[in-house]
Amino acid sequence: MTSTEIEELKEGIKQLRKEMIQTAAVTGLNSHKTLAISQKLDQLITRYQRLLFKKKSRLMNESKVV
């Protein structure tokens, strides 16, 4: 897990969110295409949150080792 990976995920989330909004504006909120993008977005957000949690946990553990 690197800071680069976290930044890449943030950028991917930003782009996918933009795509989802544009798709929803054209095809509707309940269209299959919008929902598919939403699911991909959910996966990226979950992955991002897990990485941040792991990073925070690791930093906390490192600070305890003195």
User: Per-domain residue ranges for the chain?
Assistant: 3-61
40 by Cβ neighbours in 10 Å (0-12 / 13-18 / 19+) ranks as middle
Cα dihedral 19, 20, 25, 31 in deg (nearest 10): 130
Sign of the dihedral defined by the CA atoms of residues 21, 26, 31, 34, in that order: negative
Asked if residue 1 has pLDDT above 60, the reply is no
Name the CATH code of domain 3-61 (choices 3.30.1050, 1.10.3470, 4.10.280, 3.30.450): 4.10.280
Mean pLDDT of 2-27: 95
What pLDDT, on the 0 to 100 scale, is given for residue 66?
55
Q: Report, as an integer, the average pLDDT of 35-46.
A: 98
Query: HSE on the CB side for 51, CA within 13 Å?
Result: 16
